[in-house]
């Protein structure tokens, strides 16, 4: 069991790390040479819009799946027929 778990973690790391590295944003533009204080233009950052939407969608799907499992479990226990002795 422990070996299988470690094998899956190892495979998961080697499948996700290259994807994350390849989808990283390129570095921002260099500072212009005319300003001695080093204050260039606006800072360049990574957008969080798409990532936040994907995270929320996954959370909603997971919550729906857990609710479905909960309802399925409760309905099967609620409608059990007691055995006559």
Residues 5 and 20: beta-carbon distance below 8 Å: no
Answer yes or no: pTM beyond 0.75: no
Look at residue 58 in the predicted model and tell me its pLDDT.
Answer: 92
- Which single residue is written with the structure tokens 């499948």? 15
Which tens digit of pLDDT belongs to each residue from 7-61?
888 888 888 887 777 777 777 776 665 555 655 556 666 666 677 788 889 999 9
One DSSP character per residue, the chain reads -HHHHHHHHHHHHHHHHHHHHHTSPPPPPPPPTT-TT---SSPP----HHHHHHHHHHHHHHHHHHHHHHHHHHHHHHTPPPPP-
Q: What is the pLDDT of residues 52-69, one digit of tens each?
A: 788 889 999 999 999 998
């Amino acid at each position: 069991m422990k070996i299988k778990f470690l094998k899956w973690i190892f495979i998961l790391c080697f499948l996700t790390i290259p994807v994350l590295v390849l989808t990283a944003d390129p570095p921002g533009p260099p500072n212009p040479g005319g300003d001695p204080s080093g204050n260039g233009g606006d800072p360049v950052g990574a957008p969080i819009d798409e990532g936040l939407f994907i995270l929320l969608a996954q959370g909603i799907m997971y919550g729906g799946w857990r609710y479905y499992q909960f309802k399925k479990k409760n309905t099967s226990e609620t409608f059990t027929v007691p055995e006559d002795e």
